[in-house]
Amino acid sequence: MNHDESRSLYDRALSVIPGGVNSSVRATRPYPFFVERGDGAHVVDADGNRYLDYAMGYGPLLYGHDMPDPVRSAVQSHASEGPMYGAPTEVEVEHAEFVARHVPSVEMIRFVNSGTEATVSAVRLARGYTGRDKIVVMQGGYHGAQESTLVEGEPGDVHPSTSGIPESFAEQTIPVPFNDFETINQVFEAHGEDIAAVLTEPILGNNGIVLPVDGYLEHLRDVTEEHGSLLVFDEVITGFRVGGLQCAQGKFGVTPDVTTFGKIIGGGFPVGAVGGKSEILEQFSPSGPVFQSGTFSGHPVTMAAGYEYLKFAAENDVYEHVNRLGEKLRRGITDIVEDQAPSYTVVGTDSMFKTIFTRGGPPDLDGACEAGCEQRPDCPRYEHCPKDASDIADAETERWERIFWQEMKERGIFLTANQFESQFVSYAHTDEDIEETLEAYKEVL
Ligand code: PMP
């Protein structure tokens, strides 16, 4: 493959954009390919190379790069009639009504402009509603570029995970291991009265894809209720992807007090949202005392795209298709891994998938996790499924990024370059695409 044009665009970008990119995950080594256009399940780069895309914009593109007709025409008409006003419009009400009808926890919803803005607002809301300051998060969880959640360490020894954040922010945040009943109990015993919320992804989607073990989300529900804290699910990735229109909370049957959304809910345009019980959501200004505001919030083009996106999913076989192909891909990769890299692990559910490069692991680790086991204790390899961030901490990140990711890319398969970030199957992917992908996995692994 020739990458001359991408290389020269990157050179130009480096002099005017820090690191040459506007979001750090895009800075793939030695330089990123610059995309010229999308085409169904593919992207075409500035040198004319075509890639089968599983990054899918890091999650929003449920339909791939072609918008279904109703989405395209709604986007075009709203763009040409505005594009925005600083006054409310009907389409944001329709979108809010749709989400409230389908997602168990949502009675009301406030739309914002990114997943980060959603989690920032949700944390402020939880603090305002409870009058408490501390929040509990999961080690290896991700909630965007926000001060309260960019932390690392153990309960009692927590620090900001990036420069630029005062130590005092980290003092209010308690990171605990996902799926660990014992630690969350201890944290609530010690700080229960001061905890505003437990904020967690129902599935860790930025850390290898770690599924909740049986009973864990239920336990979080119980322990928060018992102590008067809120349970906040960050469904920025899982929302309208895992569990269909009911989201992961519907799939797992656990209803949080507050849910954050992003990605799919905006149909490919910048978006975030905070939903939940009316009693809590009405604490947001102007109905309540917790300030929340945004020039672009509820942008008509985004609202139209998101609403039509979800309506299309309600009326077509979208989730059947993406989940069936997701399962086919996970099973296919599992067979290859068993044969060629038996200490690696295939993870995921619905249309999310990843192969984690862990060697080592438990001493008797001799096979991949059975694809689709969804952390069921009856899976023969249940013990070897990652349960928290520490289980995948020794993954071969360099081998993934420098060898595997590059080799797949050179074969025309675009995966997420970070070893721990999820990948996605879209409605535009076909059975033939899956077979082509499995051939590439077989060669490269
Ligand atoms: N929460 C989760 C679970 C995410 O995966 C992300 C982004 N990948 C965010 C929040 C932040 O969203 P955004 O990048 O739109 O700010």
Calculate the average pLDDT of the chain. 94
Q: How far is the CA of 5 from the centre of ligand 1 (A)?
A: 30
pLDDT digits (tens, 9 = 90+) for 198-257: 999 999 999 989 999 999 999 999 999 999 999 999 999 999 999 999 999 999 999 999
- Spell out which residues line ligand 1, taking CB within 6 angstroms: 58, 114-116, 119, 142-144, 201, 205-206, 234, 236-237, 262
pLDDT of residue 433: 98
Strand order in the sheet with 50-53: 35-39, 42-45, 50-53, 413-414
Active site residue 251: no
* Torsions phi, psi for 375 (to 5 deg): 65, 25
Residue 77 structure tokens: 């008409």
Contact indicator for 237, 205 with CB cutoff of 8 Å: yes
Angstrom CA distances, 186 to 36, 140, 183, stand at: 52, 19, 5
Q: One of 263, 328, 387, 409 is an active-site residue; which one?
A: 263
CA distance 420 to 422: 7
Q: For residue 201, which atom of ligand 1 is closest to its CA?
A: 3
ipTM for this prediction: 0.99
Q: How far is the CA of 1 from the centre of ligand 1 (A)?
A: 32
Sort 94 into a burial class: Cβ within 10 Å, 0-12 / 13-18 / 19+. middle
Q: One of 51, 63, 129, 142 is an active-site residue; which one?
A: 142
Active site residue 263: yes
Q: One of 180, 234, 391, 433 is an active-site residue; which one?
A: 234
pLDDT digits (tens, 9 = 90+) for 276-326: 999 999 999 999 999 999 999 999 999 999 999 999 999 999 999 999 999
Single-letter amino acid code for the residue at 437: T
Q: Which of 56, 120, 142 to mutate to test the pocket of ligand 1 (most atoms within 8 A of CB)?
A: 142
Contact indicator for 217, 202 with CB cutoff of 8 Å: yes
Q: How far is the CA of 114 from the centre of ligand 1 (A)?
A: 7
- Output the residue whose Cα is nearest ligand 1's atom 10: 143
Q: Is the pLDDT of residue 409 over 80?
A: yes
Peptide bond into 60 cis (omega under 30): no
Active site residue 441: no
Going along the chain from its start, the domains and CATH numbers come out as 4-66+318-444 (3.90.1150.10), 69-315 (3.40.640.10)
Q: How far is the CA of 378 from the centre of ligand 1 (A)?
A: 32
Q: Is the pLDDT of residue 407 over 80?
A: yes
Q: Which regions of 34-189 does DSSP assign to beta strands (E)?
A: 35-39, 42-45, 50-53, 108-112, 134-138, 151-154, 157-160, 173-176
